[in-house]
Chains A and B, each alone.
Chain A
Amino acid sequence: GAVVSQHPSRVICKSGTSVKIECRSLDFQATTMFWYRQFPKQSLMLMATSNEGSKATYEQGVEKDKFLINHASLTLSTLTVTSAHPEDSSFYICSARAAGGRNTEAFFGQGTRLTVV
């Protein structure tokens, strides 16, 4: 099946610094990418939807200035957590969808565990 690679898988950063997470579709062109966040023992919460070449659409309650999403190419989307704080520590997961498909064709990355100290 299609592969979505997410990097890094684990990152520890100091409070106040910024962290960039990459999501790549390795064998298909992803016109839409989704970024999720998962708190311990909770569901995956959609943060934003990004379409290649346009601004991301953020879900209610997600600060777009804090969670910067860039989808500059059909194979790469990045999530930058700016001025990270300990409460941003979480598991972040991206998924990518090819053109023409419903979300049934969305494949997930392996996730990034962010710890802010």
Chain B
Amino acid sequence: DQQVKQNSPSLSVQEGRISILNCDYTNSMFDYFLWYKKYPAEGPTFLISISSIKDKNEDGRFTVFLNKSAKHLSLHIVPSQPGDSAVYFCAALTGTASKLTFGTGTRLQVTL
């Protein structure tokens, strides 16, 4: 039962354009969401997070949007850079649980 889903396994974006990575969830108890970036053979690194009491959080080139009614969140990267090429995972938490539930990941390729 995949409670956090990233339906696009891959995405290709031209340098300088906007990258939009999507994530859907089914568990209405999730109240905190995180995005991680992962290079091959490395552990994930934290990018940005958002609490369910907000609908937007921005940090530099990265913005996360949350639509609770649709159980959907998205990560916007603008402008996209070649160094952004990696696999991006969204993850979710509930208030009472300490473990992250990860999505399946989206591989972003930023081309020149």
In the bound complex, residues from chain B placing their C-beta under 8 Å from that of A32 are: 98
In the bound complex, residues from chain A placing their C-beta under 8 Å from that of B42 are: 110-111
In the bound complex, residues from chain A placing their C-beta under 8 Å from that of B2 are: 43
In the bound complex, residues from chain B placing their C-beta under 8 Å from that of A42 are: 104-105
Q: Would you call B93 and A44 a contact (CB within 8 A)?
A: no
The 0/1 profile, CB within 8 Å of B marked 1, for residues 35-47 of chain A is 0000001111110
Instruction: Pick out which of these stretches binds chain B: A11-19, A72-80, A101-109.
Output: A101-109
- Residues of A within 8 Å of B, CB-based: how many? 28
CB of B89 closer than 8 Å to a CB of A:
yes
Q: Would you call B46 and A44 a contact (CB within 8 A)?
A: no
By CB atoms of chain A within 10 A, which of B45, B89, B93, B100 has the most? B100
Q: Would you call A97 and B98 a contact (CB within 8 A)?
A: yes
Q: Would you call A103 and B43 a contact (CB within 8 A)?
A: no
CB of A28 closer than 8 Å to a CB of B:
no
In the bound complex, residues from chain A placing their C-beta under 8 Å from that of B45 are: 108
Interface of B is mostly: loop
In the bound complex, residues from chain A placing their C-beta under 8 Å from that of B16 are: none
CB of A6 closer than 8 Å to a CB of B:
yes
CB of B108 closer than 8 Å to a CB of A:
no
Given contacts A44-B102, A103-B98, A110-B41, 12 further A-B contacts (CB under 8 A): A4-B43, A42-B104, A43-B89, A44-B89, A45-B102, A46-B101, A49-B98, A49-B99, A102-B32, A103-B34, A104-B46, A108-B46
16 A-B pairs with CB atoms under 8 Å apart are A6-B43, A41-B9, A43-B89, A43-B105, A44-B102, A45-B102, A46-B101, A97-B98, A102-B32, A103-B99, A104-B46, A107-B46, A110-B41, A110-B42, A111-B43, A113-B41
Could you list which residues of chain A lie within 8 angstroms of chain B, going by C-beta atoms? Answer: 4, 6, 9-10, 32, 34, 41-46, 49, 91, 93-95, 97, 102-104, 106-111, 113
